[in-house]
Amino acid sequence: MKRQEIKEILQSEAIGSTIKVSGWVRTKRESKNVNFINLNDGTVLSNLQVVAEVENFDEKILKKINTGAALTVVGELVESGGQQRVELVAKEIEVVGEADPDKYPLQPKRHSLEFLREIAHLRFRTNTFSAIARVRHAMIFAVHKFFTEKGFFNIHTPIITASDCEGAGEMFQVTTLDMNNPPRTEDGKIDYSQDFFGKITSLTVSGQLEGELAALALSKIYTFGPTFRAENSNTSRHLAEFWMIEPEMAFYDLNDNMDLAEEFLKYLINYALDNCQEDLLFLSQRQQQEEKNKPQQERSMELIEKLKFVVENDFVRLTYTEAIDILQKSKPAQKGQFQYPVEGFGTDLQSEHERFLVEKHFKRPVILIDYPANIKAFYMKVNPDGKTVAAMDVLFPQIGEIIGGSQREERLEILVEKMKAMGIPLEEMDWYLDTRRYGSVPHSGFGLGFERLITFVTGMGNIRDVIPFARTPKNCEF
Ligand code: 4AD
Ligand code: MG
17-40 residue pLDDT tens: 999 999 999 999 999 999 999 999
User: In a 10 Å sphere around its CB, with 0-12 CB exposed, 13-18 middle and 19+ buried, how is residue 335 labelled?
Assistant: exposed
All structural domains of the chain, each given as residue ranges with its CATH number in brackets, are 6-105 (2.40.50.140), 124-170+205-465 (3.30.930.10)
78-96 residue pLDDT tens: 999 878 899 999 999 999 9
* Atom of ligand 1 lying closest to residue 406 CA: 11
CA–CA distances in Å: residue 258 to residues 243, 306, 316, 392, 444 = 21, 21, 11, 7, 10
pTM: 0.96
pLDDT band at 227 (very low <50, low <70, confident <90, very high): very high
**DSSP label of 118:** H
- 435 alpha carbon to ligand 2 midpoint, in Å? 24
Cβ-contact 48, 88 below 8 angstroms: yes
- Ligand sitting nearest the alpha carbon of 395: 1
Q: What is the pLDDT of residue 298?
A: 76
Residue 370 — left, alpha, or beta (φ > 0 → left; ψ -120 to 50 → alpha)? left
Residue 467 has pLDDT above 80, yes or no: yes
Pairing of strands 220-228, 153-154: parallel
* Atom of ligand 1 lying closest to residue 463 CA: 25
416-431 residue pLDDT tens: 999 999 999 899 899 9
Closest residue by CA, ligand 1 atom 27: 238
**Residue 355, Cα to own-chain centre: how many angstroms?**
19
- Mean pLDDT value across residues 343-365: 94
Cβ-contact 26, 47 below 8 angstroms: yes
Please spell the DSSP secondary structure of 246-280, one letter per residue. EEEEET--HHHHHHHHHHHHHHHHHHHHHH-HHHH
Closest residue by CA, ligand 1 atom 18: 449
Closest residue by CA, ligand 1 atom 29: 238
What is the C-alpha to C-alpha distance for residues 174 and 386, in angstroms, rounded to an integer? 37
- Mean pLDDT value across residues 346-355: 93
State the first-to-last Cα distance of the chain, in angstroms, to the nearest integer. Answer: 36
Q: What is the pLDDT of residue 295?
A: 83
Closest residue by CA, ligand 1 atom 25: 238
The residues, any chain, with a CB within 8 Å of residue 300's CB and separated by 6 or more, are 287, 291, 306, 397, 398, 459
Closest residue by CA, ligand 1 atom 1: 404
What is the C-alpha to C-alpha distance for residues 116 and 193, in angstroms, rounded to an integer? 44
Q: What is the pLDDT of residue 446?
A: 98
Cβ-contact 234, 371 below 8 angstroms: no
Q: Report the chain's mean pLDDT, rounded to a whole number.
A: 96
- 205 alpha carbon to ligand 2 midpoint, in Å? 11
- 393 alpha carbon to ligand 2 midpoint, in Å? 7
293-334 residue pLDDT tens: 888 777 888 999 999 999 999 999 999 999 999 999 999 999
Helix, strand, coil percent content, the chain, rounded in steps of 5 = 35, 25, 40
Residue 117 has pLDDT above 90, yes or no: yes
- Ligand sitting nearest the alpha carbon of 444: 1
Least confident range of 137-141, 229-233, 361-365, 449-453: 229-233
The residues, any chain, with a CB within 8 Å of residue 411's CB and separated by 6 or more, are 436, 440
- Ligand sitting nearest the alpha carbon of 471: 1
Question: What number of other Cβ atoms are within 10 A of residue 17's Cβ?
Answer: 11
The residues, any chain, with a CB within 8 Å of residue 19's CB and separated by 6 or more, are 1, 4, 9, 12, 74, 75, 76, 77, 88
User: Taking ligand 2, which is a single-atom ion, which protein residues have CB atoms under 5 Å away?
Assistant: 404
The residues, any chain, with a CB within 8 Å of residue 237's CB and separated by 6 or more, are 351, 399, 400, 452, 455, 463
pLDDT band at 53 (very low <50, low <70, confident <90, very high): very high
Query: Which of 398, 407, 452 should be mutated for ligand 1, with most atoms under 8 A from CB?
Result: 452
Q: What is the pLDDT of residue 225?
A: 98
Question: What number of other Cβ atoms are within 10 A of residue 380's Cβ?
Answer: 23
Residue 400 three-state SS: strand
- Ligand sitting nearest the alpha carbon of 166: 1
Question: How many residues are recorded in the chain?
Answer: 478
Residue 468 has pLDDT above 90, yes or no: yes
What is the C-alpha to C-alpha distance for residues 110 and 262, in angstroms, rounded to an integer? 37
Cβ-contact 67, 28 below 8 angstroms: yes
* Atom of ligand 1 lying closest to residue 402 CA: 19
Task: Calculate what percentage of the chain has a pLDDT beyond 70.
Answer: 100
- 12 alpha carbon to ligand 2 midpoint, in Å? 47
Task: Calculate what percentage of the chain has a pLDDT beyond 90.
Answer: 92
Helix (H) or strand (E) holding 290: helix 277-291
Residues with C-beta less than 6 Å from any ligand 1 atom: 165-166, 206, 208, 229, 231, 238-239, 242, 244, 246, 401-406, 445-447, 449, 451-452
